[in-house]
C-alpha cells in the first residue's frame, strides 16, 4: 500500500488525475466482459477507487468532506433536476425527450440479471450505492473542481484559490463534466451547481457532500422505482 501511495503522490497532477482516469477507463470497459462482467468490473473499480482515495488523502488536502446547509440543499435540488428534467421538458412542450449520450447497450439491473431476492442482486445494489455515494464524489470533484477548473485558469493550478471565479473555465469544466454523463443536460446543470458551490464556499468538501447526497438519493430512487436507466 505504501508503494501505491508513493506512485500516486509523486506529483500534484498525478494525485488528482490518475485515480479518476483509471476509474473512467474501467467504467468504459464494463460492457467488454459480458452481462455479468459489468457488475464485477463495477466492484473492482469501486474497490480500486477507494484504495486510490486512501493513497492520495494525505497529499490532496482539499479533499475533505464538509457538511453545510448549502451542500444539502444543492444536493437535493440537483437530484430533483436529474430525475425530473426529462418530464419537465416534455410537459413544457419543448422536446419529446432530449437525446442522451450512449454509454453502451447494457442496462445495469442486478434484479433482472440475478433474480429478485437473490443475494448477488442485493450485494451489487449495495456496492453501487456505496460506490456512487462514497467513492465517485471525491474522485470526480477532485478531478474537475480541484484540477481541471484551476488548471484552465493557470498551469500552476495549486496557486489558484478554489473560490476564484473565472467564467470561461467555469463553463468549460461544467461542460466536460456533462460529457461524462449519459443525461448530459442534467449533468451540465449539475456541474454548474457543484462548481458554483466550490466558488461560493472556497472549498471542495461542500461539493463532495452535495454530490454524495445527489447520488445517494438517485440510488434510492432507482431501487425504489425500478428506474434502472439512471444507473
Nearest residue to 187 (alpha-carbon basis) of 136, 146, 224, 131: 136
pLDDT under 50: residue ranges of the chain: none
- What lies within 8 Å, CB to CB, of 108 at 6+ separation is 38, 39, 42, 128, 228, 231
Query: CA-to-CA distance for 231 and 223, rounded, in angstroms?
Result: 10
Distance between CA 230 and CA 220 in Å, rounded? Answer: 11
Q: How confident is the model at residue 177, as a pLDDT?
A: 96
For residue 195, how far is the Cα from the chain centroid?
A: 13
Neighbours of 105 (CB within 10 A): 6
For residue 12, with 0-12 CB atoms within 10 Å meaning exposed, 13-18 middle and 19 or more buried, which class applies? middle
Domain count, the chain: 1
Confidence (pLDDT) at 29: 85
Is residue 50 in some structural domain? no
In a domain, 39, yes or no: no
Q: Which three cell numbers stand for residue 117?
A: 431476492
Task: Tell me what pLDDT residue 90 has.
Answer: 67
Whether residue 158 lies inside any domain: the answer is yes
Q: Which pLDDT value is given to residue 22? A: 93
Specify if 40 maps to a domain: no
Domain that holds residue 117: 63-230
Asked, for residue 69, whether it belongs to a domain, the answer is yes
pLDDT at 108: 85
Q: Is residue 97 part of a domain?
A: yes
CA distance 165 to 30: 36
* Residue 8 domain-assigned (yes or no): no
Q: How many residues does the chain have?
A: 231
Residue 98: the pLDDT is 61
CA distance 88 to 94: 9
Helix residue ranges per DSSP H, the chain: 2-8, 12-28, 34-56, 69-91, 110-114, 119-130, 136-141, 149-153, 167-179, 184-201, 205-225
pTM of this prediction? 0.92
User: Residue 228 and residue 90: Cα distance in Å, rounded?
Assistant: 20
Structural domain contains residue 187: yes
User: Cα separation of 79 and 151, whole Å?
Assistant: 28
DSSP 59: T
Amino acid at each position: 500500500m505504501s508503494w501505491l501511495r508513493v506512485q500516486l503522490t509523486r506529483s500534484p497532477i498525478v494525485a488528482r488525475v490518475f485515480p479518476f482516469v483509471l476509474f473512467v477507463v474501467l467504467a468504459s470497459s464494463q460492457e467488454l466482459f459480458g452481462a455479468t462482467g459489468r457488475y464485477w468490473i463495477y466492484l473492482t473499480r469501486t474497490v480500486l477507487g477507494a484504495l486510490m482515495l486512501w493513497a492520495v488523502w494525505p497529499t490532496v488536502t482539499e479533499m475533505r468532506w464538509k457538511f453545510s446547509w448549502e451542500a444539502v440543499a444543492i444536493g437535493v435540488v440537483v437530484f430533483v433536476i436529474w430525475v425530473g428534467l426529462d418530464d419537465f421538458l416534455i410537459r413544457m412542450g419543448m422536446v419529446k425527450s432530449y437525446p442522451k449520450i450512449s454509454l453502451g447497450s447494457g442496462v445495469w439491473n442486478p434484479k433482472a440479471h440475478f433474480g429478485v431476492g437473490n443475494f448477488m442482486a442485493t450485494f451489487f445494489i449495495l456496492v453501487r450505492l456505496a460506490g456512487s455515494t462514497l467513492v465517485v464524489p471525491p474522485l470526480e470533484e477532485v478531478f474537475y473542481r480541484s484540477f481541471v477548473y484551476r488548471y484552465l485558469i493557470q498551469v500552476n493550478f495549486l496557486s489558484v484559490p478554489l473560490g476564484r471565479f473565472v467564467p470561461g473555465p467555469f463553463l468549460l469544466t461544467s461542460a466536460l463534466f456533462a460529457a461524462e454523463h449519459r443525461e448530459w443536460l442534467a449533468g451540465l446543470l449539475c456541474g454548474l451547481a457543484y462548481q458554483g458551490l466550490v466558488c461560493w464556499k472556497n472549498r471542495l468538501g461542500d461539493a463532495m457532500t452535495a454530490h454524495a447526497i445527489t447520488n445517494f438519493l438517485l440510488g434510492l430512487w432507482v431501487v425504489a422505482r425500478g428506474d434502472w436507466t439512471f444507473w
